Structure 1
């Protein structure tokens, strides 16, 4: 089914509640399957330096928009596609197959020693995390010539993820839809199942957690909407189907493996990066060659 209206960005000034810009994506930025699942804003010194990244879940692309240049471009990569072995879902007693679900959640790291930031992402039908430097995405000349600039991290045992976000300390929070839970990963550690933990779980209130944000007071906000029930079965309108929760980050992290008690030196070799140089955050070396 093709969208009738063109995909567009509407940008608002929240101080004045006024729309300051509307930008329509170029025809080559989307395709007949495009479905924008998530938006990640990347801003450094001012709004003029702002970029936005859009995950095209069903069209298997990542669209970049530059506010300063007022233009967009699209990356394609096999890492944006679903894993054909991970299309089976079990949520709230429902078993169904979403084998076509590609790139969905994205998060942005703090600045690394090299001066860039890392964009972490994962397809919905996948148990693997991927990463790319924001400097690659911000360089439109890299489109079509960036395959080896993207890296695959380890698989996790915690299943499928929807939205994710990373705080200023490099701790990623993620919605674990298979577990009715919100998880965490401290990026000072290798991306591995033993370094991923659950900060909250609710088999009623967190059925299909779909989005999450962090406010300036370091509260984590989570929304759940029972999307799987709506799409696969039906919603019971006598029940509460849509919920918004918040909690202080320090409370959520207490006694988890993600808690920032001390900096842990990474000992495990990152074999998946063999042959590539990767500037990895929070490690001792400026550049690591594996």
Structure 2
């Protein structure tokens, strides 16, 4: 994959130098703090409409806002990030008013031009507000939908980290699936009826042996449950699978969305329907965070203990087998930890893969060196990546002496 943007540390857009200095003095903004976790791209119908979104969750002190767009301006070589939709959404968030964004790990853009934001309401380790789901018009930044999850279904440890937007036959028929990596739960939101419920299963829990991470020789412990989620391509009138996995685990799981969307299945209790959740027999060799599936059913994800980007043919049941899972790329520098991946159709209708990578082992151990390049947004055409991997159903891997043509198209 090609590096499109890179930072030694994140820079944020302020109206004046005086405002920026005041933010630094008050520690609203601490240079060297802040970690990008997710990326998404909106192309629109005209080049002027293109937006590159990034998320910066507030698990570190000194992060002034949590959702932004990458501008074409730089400071000390670092692309400047502007707040989305505006600064107003990040003022006085502790009041928990309706126009707030506290902290966001991941986002989703649907085919109807809406940016779905999963705000977990947590700053550092403190729960400030109830988690909420927001939808904005991507072009205008206007709020299109807001839903605050009830205290009746969330817990004190709830940490919402990943969001999937399941748009059915029309833009009004939408269900949202939200992963809670600390409560080990997937929350389902029926947008049309403005109601949510919790789905819980043992497959959403972390595996203790996979709670210790080793990235380029640095070890640290994280016991994160369900985090990675991906929807297979939607075909009108048919069922759909939601794939998911706990980050601190080697397994991949799936459930039909028709089951998740059926609220009555969970009225007997969160763990009352174990038969609807399925786990592949094969396993990954290491932990993985985000995942995504393209229009042909190929899944892409990082193998974060090996600094690799991998793919899997979801039409195969042989998860983990060499015949259906392949390594696309290995890079100790640019693929240290893949935290966000998205498949996006560009203005020509060509699918692209976008990813955010970080030295998460240094973030976690507070050893980030701001004199080095630390954070990257990478992109590539899907066809260039998937060519010859064997991850596309019906295709065969290239012989070992051949390589894939990387045109990137940028």
Q: For the Cα contact (< 8 Å) 2:297–2:392, is it kept in 1?
A: no
| Match in the other structure for 1:70 | 194
Residues 111 and 21 (structure 1 numbering): CA distance in 2 closer, same or farther, change over 3 Å?
A: closer
What per-residue deviation string (whole Å, max 9, x for no partner) do you get for residues 83-124 of structure 1? 1222221112212222x2100100111247981100110101
Greater mean deviation of Cα atoms: 195-204 or 117-126? 195-204
Query: Which structure is higher in RCO with an 8 Å CA cutoff and minimum separation 6?
Result: 2
| Match in the other structure for 1:154 | 281
* 2:39 pairs with 1:39: no
Q: For the Cα contact (< 8 Å) 2:311–2:326, is it kept in 1?
A: yes
1:211 to 320, 340, 361: 340
| Match in the other structure for 2:307 | 180
1:58 to 160, 179, 182: 182
Q: What 5-or-longer segments of structure 2 have no aligned partner?
A: 1-124, 397-410
Structure 1 distance, partners of 2:353, 2:217, is 27
Structure 2 distance, partners of 1:200, 1:69, is 43
Structure 1 distance, partners of 2:234, 2:344, is 19
What is the alpha-carbon root mean square deviation over aligned residues?
1.8
What secondary structure is seen at the aligned counterpart in 2 of 1:21?
strand
Structure 2 distance, partners of 1:10, 1:112, is 26
Structure 2 distance, partners of 1:187, 1:113, is 19
How far the C-alpha of 1:158 sits from its partner, in A, is 2.9
| Match in the other structure for 1:197 | 326
Matches within 5 A, 1:255-270: 255-262=388-395
| Match in the other structure for 2:137 | 13
Structure 1 distance, partners of 2:141, 2:204, is 34
How far the C-alpha of 1:214 sits from its partner, in A, is 0.9
Higher-Rg structure is 2
| Match in the other structure for 1:170 | 297
Structure 2 distance, partners of 1:111, 1:8, is 25
Greater mean deviation of Cα atoms: 110-119 or 17-26? 110-119
How far the C-alpha of 1:233 sits from its partner, in A, is 4.1
Runs of at least 4 residues off by over 6 Å: none
Residues 113 and 151 (structure 1 numbering): CA distance in 2 closer, same or farther, change over 3 Å?
A: farther
Structure 1 distance, partners of 2:146, 2:228, is 24
What secondary structure is seen at the aligned counterpart in 2 of 1:193?
coil
- Give the total of aligned pairs: 262
| Match in the other structure for 2:227 | 104
